[in-house]
């Protein structure tokens, strides 16, 4: 029994999951109806549904980010790509004669995604071909991208009145929010493609040792371009959801700082920033922790001035609990306790 317990504790997702449960518990105490999910107007309604729906964009971006980080890279440009894709889609819808028609929205979404693919290839080109460090290469688009989005929207917030577009952000299918379904599909595709084929292993090998993997015949260059392109693609999907959520493209604020949330979700999920092994399930838990944290702030009523400190404390706790040094210290502590209790080290 205790051996099983030790194995569970040692699992890298143990502490993030514990943190998620603790946050749920805090919410439940502050607001007893927290877990209640009802059906209202034919769709699911409740705090948990909100967490899933509002967390979906962060999760989608974090999935792309996980793969980038696994190659020992980082993509800071995702927030800017969000803003660009939203701006492109909204300006196309606004410029068309039939903003409410399905075909207009389909064209707008397709063009936004295509542009994101180009931006992703640009990032990948800088990193893989030119050899710019990822943090610098993507910083270029991070700063320039918002400017591009501003140019597209001409500095205005573009409000669109288009039911099919709005459906992307706040619609439901079989009672489940569309945003959640999209996130589920992206997650499933990423998991299947990288885990059911050798692609995931290649990504990890490039992250651990690019030179060795090149000599072993892994085409690192092409792989990097694909990974950065996928990241930008994810960012564009998230940007469309965020924009559709309020039916307005706000070049200044759409996806602002979302790159940091996504990186945090990846790190909380146990993927190392040093590249190599990654865990998509971990990223999922990480994204949920971040979104639950936001909701907790609202339900518990933490004053806005203290919000940042509260979030920092939670994140610090998760990271500390997860770090190998802490794990080592904890194990040593437990063993000493066990010895002192005269039971020997049977537990291990």
Partner 1 sequence: MKKLIGIAAAGAMLVALAGCANGAGEASGPKPLDELVVGFSQVGSESGWRTANTKDIQAAFEDAGIELKFSDAQQKQENQIKAIRSYIQQQVDVIAFSPVVETGWDAVLNEAKAAGIPVVLTDRAVDSKDDSLYESFLGSDFVVEGEKAGAWAVAEFADATEPVEIIQLEGTTGAAPAIDRAEGFAEAIAENPNLQVVASQTGDFTRAGGKQVTEALLKSNPGVDLIFAHNDDMGLGAIEAIEAAGLVPGVDVKILTIDAVKDGMQALADGKINYIVECSPLLGKQLVDIVKQINDGETPEKRIITEEGEFNQEQAIEALPDRQY
Give residues in contact with partner 1 (CB under 8 A).
30-31, 33, 40-41, 45-47, 50, 54, 155-157, 159, 170, 242, 245-248, 250, 252-254, 294-295, 297-299, 301, 303-305, 307
Characterise 191 by phi-psi region: left (phi > 0), alpha (psi -120 to 50), beta (else): alpha
User: What is the residue whose two structure tokens read 């009802």?
Assistant: 38
Bridge partner list, 172: 177
Q: In terms of CB distance, is 53 or 72 closer to partner 1? A: 53
> Would you call 219 helix, strand, or coil by DSSP?
coil
And the tokens for 128? 């893989």
| Encoded tokens for 258 | 């979302």
Residue closer to partner 1 by CB (options 54, 66) is 54
Q: Which lies closer to partner 1 via its Cβ, residue 87 or residue 280?
A: 87
Q: Cα 81 vs. chain centroid, distance in angstroms?
A: 14
Considering the complex, what minimum distance in angstroms separates the CB of residue 145 from partner 1?
Answer: 16
In whole angstroms, how far apart are CA 56 and each of 67, 237, 297? 17, 10, 18
- Rounded Cα gap, residues 208 and 17, in angstroms: 27
- For partner 1, the closer CB: 55 or 286: 55
The distance of closest approach from Cβ of residue 167 to partner 1 in the complex, given in angstroms and rounded to an integer, is 13
Instruction: State the nearest-atom distance from the C-beta of 64 to partner 1, in Å.
Output: 20
Name the minimum Å distance from CB 230 to partner 1.
Answer: 25
End-to-end CA distance of the chain: 11
Q: Least distance (Å) from partner 1 to the CB of residue 157? A: 6
* Phi, psi for residue 154 in degrees, rounded to 5: 55, 35
Nearer to partner 1, 205 or 295 (CB): 295
Q: Report the nearest approach of partner 1 to the CB of residue 289 (Å).
A: 16
Nearest to 52 by CA among 24, 80, 84: 24
Orientation angle between helical segments 47-70 and 280-300, nearest 10 degrees: 140
CB of 180 or CB of 190, closer to partner 1: 180
């Amino acid at each position: 029994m205790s051996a099983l317990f030790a194995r569970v504790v040692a699992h890298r997702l143990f502490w993030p999951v514990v943190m998620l449960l603790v946050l749920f518990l805090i919410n439940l105490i502050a607001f007893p109806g927290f877990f209640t999910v009802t059906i209202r107007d034919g769709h699911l309604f409740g705090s948990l549904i909100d967490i899933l729906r509002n967390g979906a964009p962060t999760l989608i971006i974090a999935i792309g980010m996980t793969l980038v980080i696994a190659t020992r890279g980082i993509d800071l440009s995702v927030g800017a790509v969000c803003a660009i894709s939203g701006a492109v889609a909204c300006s196309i819808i606004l410029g068309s004669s039939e903003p409410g028609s399905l075909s207009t929205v389909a064209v707008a979404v397709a063009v936004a995604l295509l542009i994101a693919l180009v931006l992703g290839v640009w990032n990948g080109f800088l990193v893989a071909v030119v050899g710019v460090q990822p943090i610098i290469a993507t910083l270029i688009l991070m700063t320039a991208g918002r400017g591009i989005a501003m140019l597209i929207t001409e500095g205005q917030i573009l409000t669109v009145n288009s039911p099919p577009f709005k459906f992307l952000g706040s619609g439901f299918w079989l009672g489940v929010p569309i945003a959640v379904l999209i996130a589920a599909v992206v997650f499933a595709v990423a998991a299947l493609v990288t885990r059911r084929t050798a692609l995931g292993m290649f990504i990890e090998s490039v992250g651990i040792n690019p030179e060795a993997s090149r000599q072993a015949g892994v085409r690192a260059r092409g792989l990097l371009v694909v990974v950065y392109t996928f990241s930008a693609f994810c960012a564009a999907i998230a940007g469309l959801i965020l924009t559709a959520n309020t039916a307005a493209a706000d070049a200044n604020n759409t996806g602002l700082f979302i790159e940091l949330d996504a990186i945090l979700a990846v790190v909380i999920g146990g993927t190392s920033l040093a590249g190599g092994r990654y865990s998509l399930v971990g990223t999922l838990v990480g994204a949920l922790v971040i979104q639950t944290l936001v909701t907790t702030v609202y339900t518990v009523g933490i004053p806005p001035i203290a919000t940042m400190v509260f979030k920092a404390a939670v994140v610090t706790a998760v990271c500390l609990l997860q770090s190998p040094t802490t794990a080592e210290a904890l194990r040593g502590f437990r063993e000493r306790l066990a010895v002192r209790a005269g039971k020997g080290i049977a537990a291990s």
